[in-house]
Amino acid sequence: MKSPSRYAGARRRRRKKVRYGRLAAAVLILLLALAAAIFLLAKLAGALFGAPQGGGSLPAAASSQQGDSSQVQQVTASVSLESREGSNQSREGLWPLSTYLRVGEDPVSEETADPNQMVEPKEFNPVWVTGAGSMIPAIQEFKATTNADTIGWLRIPQTNINYPVVVGPDTNYYTSLNYYKQVDPTQLGVIWAQTGTKFGTSANISKNTVLFGHNWTNYSATPRIGYLTDQRFAQLTGYHYTSYAKNRPYILYSTESEDMVFKVFAAFYTEVDFDYLASDPDQAGMQYIINEALARSRHNFGVDVNSSDKIITLSTCTRAYGQTNQQRFVVMARLLRAGEEVTATNPVYNPNHKQPSL
């Protein structure tokens, strides 16, 4: 028979173990709470001081990789940009990328300083536009298999901007959704058109086709050029630089009815109070938009444009002028005129461009 003192000792040891167990559990809970608090603070700091909110839509809501296809596919595979053979989830907005980038003919250096950065082309090559091929089959397939709201496809040669274009019941419908109409946990979003925009042939499209896209990674006053991780409209801000604009003078926009080529004539920062979003303004309103765009443009492109032209407007977020969300970066291009050839342009920096009123 055990003595009372031995029983007492055993009870003390059990109580000690219980106390240690409770202490360990309390420490673990405290560490988890601390980690959650740090995560929430980081998210709050990002919302207040970091990435821009929205993708450049209405105020109420907002690289050049070239080279042989094998190298392009190898690089894109490293960031999960799969080709047409990929799964539906991986294809979302990206599956034709490797096919399209074969248009670029200049070889990629094997000694790239940063494997995430695309290589700047030496000079514009018209075949990047004339040899781009039709996107009408891709539009029809994506519309049938992925999103019935698909109305077009947007490409900018020598960038990774190569996405379906969708349109919702109102302009801000797709602000937080992906191509599957689901809330997008990546916040990359889609490329979407302003509601009320006309589509179809070049004769039937709106006077001003306005497209929006998010930019979460390349919105500073000194944008980086050609990072593969810069998706949707994040590479658009490269038009901040004259050399970048010179090597990417055309925008390719396709609908189910026609593949169209637009010639860039302006790239600028603006406050949201400048109403460049009107899809079908009258002649005076159209000329006002063009004149303002030319006055604000960081470069003089030397491209003739007037109110009789059809234009395309690409709008995204920026924080080049501070942390306010009331600023946008915009690139405008006019539809190639009948008989006009695809040739290089020679933009020069505009030292007197109009600054945003922020």
Q: What is the DSSP string of 137-190?
A: HHHHHHHHHT-TTEEEEEE-TTSS-EEEEEE-SSTTTTTTB-TTSSB-TT----
Those residues whose C-beta lies under 8 Å from the C-beta of residue 106, and which sit 6 or more positions away, are 66, 67, 119, 121, 122, 125
Alpha-carbon distance 316 to 188, whole Å?
Answer: 12
62 domain-assigned = no
Pairing assessment for the beta strands 299-300 and 348-349 based on DSSP bridges:
antiparallel
Q: CATH number of the domain at 181, please.
A: 2.40.260.10
The domain containing residue 74 runs over which residues?
A: 69-349
Predicted local confidence at residue 259, as pLDDT: 97
Those residues whose C-beta lies under 8 Å from the C-beta of residue 275, and which sit 6 or more positions away, are 289
Those residues whose C-beta lies under 8 Å from the C-beta of residue 279, and which sit 6 or more positions away, are 194, 196, 197, 198, 206, 207, 208, 209, 210
Q: What's CA 10's distance to the chain center, in Å?
A: 67
85 domain-assigned = yes
Predicted local confidence at residue 112, as pLDDT: 41
257 domain-assigned = yes
Number of CB atoms found within 10 A of residue 143's CB? 17
Alpha-carbon distance 58 to 275, whole Å?
Answer: 10
16 domain-assigned = no
25 domain-assigned = no
Q: Confirm whether pTM is higher than 0.75.
A: no
Predicted local confidence at residue 57, as pLDDT: 45
Alpha-carbon distance 93 to 166, whole Å?
Answer: 11
Task: Going residue by residue through the chain, which has 358 residues, state the pLDDT in tens, using 9 for 90 and above.
Answer: 545 555 555 566 666 666 666 767 777 777 777 766 665 555 444 443 344 444 554 433 333 333 322 222 222 222 222 222 222 232 233 223 332 222 233 333 333 445 567 666 678 999 999 999 999 999 999 999 999 999 999 999 999 899 999 999 999 999 999 999 999 888 889 999 999 999 999 999 999 999 999 998 888 888 888 788 888 999 999 999 999 999 999 999 999 999 999 999 999 999 999 999 999 999 999 999 999 999 999 999 999 999 999 999 999 999 988 888 899 999 999 999 999 999 999 999 999 999 998 8
Q: Which residue matches tokens 């690289």?
A: 63
50 domain-assigned = no
Alpha-carbon distance 53 to 48, whole Å?
Answer: 9
Number of CB atoms found within 10 A of residue 83's CB? 18
Instruction: Work out the end-to-end distance of the chain between its first and last CA atoms, rounded to an integer number of angstroms.
Output: 88
192 domain-assigned = yes
Number of domains in the chain: 1
- For 278-317, the three-class secondary structure string (H helix, E strand, C coil) is CCCCCHHHHHHHHHHHHHHCCEECCCCCCCCCCEEEEEEE
52 domain-assigned = no
